[in-house]
Structure 1
Amino acid sequence: MNYLQTTFSLEGKTALVTGPGTGIGQGIAIALAGAGADIIGTSHKSSLSETQRLVEQEGRTFTSVRLDMGKPGEIKDAASELFEKQPIDILVNNAGIIRREPAASYAEEDWKSVLDVNLNSLFLLTQTAGTYMLRKKSGKIIHIASLLSFQGGIFVPAYTASKHAVAGLTKSFANEWAQSGVQVNAIAPGYIATANTKPIREDEERNGEILKRIPAGRWGEANDIGGAAVFLASRASDYVNGHILAVDGGWLAR
């Protein structure tokens, strides 16, 4: 193989992707499989059959496991049991939820739900996976952050708080684990056409405001995130630590 094939190849690697049933998670799972990785996908309720079919079309295996990211108290035991059976080389913390409501009336229940999935479970899964990676002195951990890791947004205080925290955790874990051969980085997607952003895209005024600010002039697609994920999962990123990589069509540069 030539330099590019060797450096970006994920042959012989196993990646755990949380929430790969649709959208960004599915796009990442397919991209990693295309680079040679076998995929483990976690889900609580969503079907992963379509993602399994697409991964298998890339010639890789797909294993579905049940993991409820909304219940942080169950994460460590469930993840430890999984990693004992199937060691992983790559962890992609993609699963996330969003609840929209004005800050003044934001429900405590929604606040807790978002933080449990987007932050608390992410922390515990990363901590558990990292324990195994540190033993073998290698591993790649990729968090899915957001433009709202840098900005405040509107009507999404819990989501914004969680994604700011994800950016901070990325740097914190990286500072401790980089010297042991474990790289921890994050991708901050821009405005991507997924189920989560459907309400915004259906708001003609808001949609127009967003498109005017994106230099690329379009919403991103889930597969736009795949290349960044392959880079951060491969040897090509061995000296990249604690970085939040924006894949946003130029939004933050505007």
Structure 2
Amino acid sequence: MTAIGWPPCHCSEGNMAHVRNLKGLVGIVTGGASGLGRATVERFVRQGASAVILDLPKSEGKTVAESLGDTCAFSPTDVTSEVDVKNALELARSKFGRVDIVVNCAGIAVAAKTYNLNKQLPHSLEDFQRVISVNIAGTFNVIRLAAGEMGKNEPDEDGHRGVIINTASVAAFDGQVGQAAYSASKGGIVGMTLPIARDLAPMGIRVVTIAPGLFATPLLVGLPEKVRTFLAKQVPFPSRLGDPG
């Protein structure tokens, strides 16, 4: 898994212990009702942090939050909506007092070739634009609004006020057939990481982006079986999708 960000991480045995200590912190996780997002929320709560799940109203967000107890809450959110994201941030502050961590996991995908020769059809422009809107604009929308909330935090001894973690994908660097929209969207997240990190560094906010491989998340499980099988075969060994849990 690749990580991109600024400042660069100088990881030692000592400071990695600090990284693993989540007790008392407050995180918001987009796409937190399923897949990698849900696994992140569960890890937060298990390690003593509080979490707010940002996911669509029809998602399992409410059920997941209730199953995790009082240190987890659900805020119905379309990440492309300024109002929804502001409401989620207000919930985090009113219920838990602050926002220390943002993890952007929300994303969508379509499986379609640029031009389907058999059907004599080009890729739907509407589908392409929707993927770009949710994955790039949605991620940026959360970042820009969460940064203002994090800026209210008192800095620690290193001047640190918070961290934002974005989720790109290996597809940003090694996209497969039918992934033009998805790869473009994840490449966009990679491309905006360093500029945003440099923008927010004076505020004491770190920004990084991870690029996971292929996981059996609802996003991938929802693709046609033929596509899932093809993608799994791209993994050298073992040739299977990863387990987000």
Place the TM-score, normalised by the shorter chain, in its bin: 0.7 to 0.9
1:61 and 2:71 correspond: yes
Deviation at 1:26, TM superposition (A): 0.8
Counterpart position of 2:221: 198
Counterpart position of 2:25: 13
| TM-score, with length taken from structure 2 | 0.77
Q: Secondary structure at the match of 1:222?
A: coil
Segments of 5+ residues of structure 2 without an aligned counterpart are 1-13, 116-121, 156-160
Using the alignment, how far apart are the partners of 1:73 and 1:7 within structure 2? 30
Q: Are the aligned partners of 2:110 and 2:179 in contact in 1 as well (CA < 8 Å)?
A: yes
Using the alignment, how far apart are the partners of 1:67 and 1:109 within structure 2? 22
Counterpart position of 1:23: 35
Using the alignment, how far apart are the partners of 1:43 and 1:167 within structure 2? 22
Counterpart position of 1:246: none
Using the alignment, how far apart are the partners of 1:34 and 1:77 within structure 2? 26
The answer to which of 174-183 and 109-118 deviates more is: 174-183
Q: Secondary structure at the match of 1:101?
A: coil
> Of 208, 216, 219, which residue of structure 2 is paired with 1:185?
208
**Cα deviation code 1:204-226 (max 9, x no counterpart):** 8x626734643344421102xxx
**Cα deviation code 1:142-194 (max 9, x no counterpart):** 11110112123221222111100111122221122234321111221111112
Q: Are the aligned partners of 1:144 and 1:189 in contact in 2 as well (CA < 8 Å)?
A: yes
Using the alignment, how far apart are the partners of 2:182 and 2:235 within structure 1? 21
> Of 85, 88, 94, which residue of structure 1 is paired with 2:105?
94
The 5 Å alignment of 1:165-180 reads 165-180=188-203
**Cα deviation code 1:82-115 (max 9, x no counterpart):** 4663521110111111112111312121122111
Counterpart position of 2:244: 222
Q: Secondary structure at the match of 1:186?
A: strand
Tell me how large the CA RMSD over aligned residues is: 2.7
Using the alignment, how far apart are the partners of 2:172 and 2:234 within structure 1? 21
Using the alignment, how far apart are the partners of 1:53 and 1:81 within structure 2? 19
Runs of 4+ in 1 over 6 A off after TM superposition: none
Q: Are the aligned partners of 1:72 and 1:116 in contact in 2 as well (CA < 8 Å)?
A: no
What is the percentage of aligned positions where both structures have the same residue?
27
Deviation at 1:66, TM superposition (A): 1.5
> Of 41, 46, 51, which residue of structure 1 is paired with 2:59?
46
Segments of 5+ residues of structure 1 without an aligned counterpart are 224-254
Query: For this pair of structures, how many residues does the alignment match?
Result: 217
Using the alignment, how far apart are the partners of 2:24 and 2:198 within structure 1? 27
> Of 153, 174, 183, which residue of structure 2 is paired with 1:160?
183
Using the alignment, how far apart are the partners of 1:178 and 1:91 within structure 2? 15
Greater helix share, 1 or 2?
Answer: 1
